[in-house]
Amino acid sequence: MKVNGSCHCGNIEFDAEIDTESGAKRVQAFCPVCGTPLYSSAEGNPTHMFVRVGTIRQRASLRPTVQIWRRSAVKWLKDLDSVPGSPEQQALTA
């Protein structure tokens, strides 16, 4: 799937072809202005860049197809639909 996106401040924009990611060790890349994590790649001689989903404008179209590391998932994760939500940041209350 072809996607595009940017860091939070807009200093870096990208176009990419996405695929699944393995569990190999990665080198991370960040925007030098706002610190947004943009992508990772294999150590040494990378052949692919792995774009962070939060930077992709089309992320709503990227439905997960598999879950990994479920052994360490918290039990309430399956029931998030029952937790009240908000479309934007709310003021914190003590």
Tens of pLDDT along 31-83?
999 989 888 888 887 788 888 888 999 989 988 888 777 888 888 888 878 88
13 within 8 A of 31, measured Cβ to Cβ = no
pLDDT for 58 equals 92
Whether pLDDT at 92 is above 70: no
pTM of the model: 0.49
The residue-averaged pLDDT of 12-37 equals 80
Q: Distance between CA 37 and CA 14 in Å, rounded?
A: 13
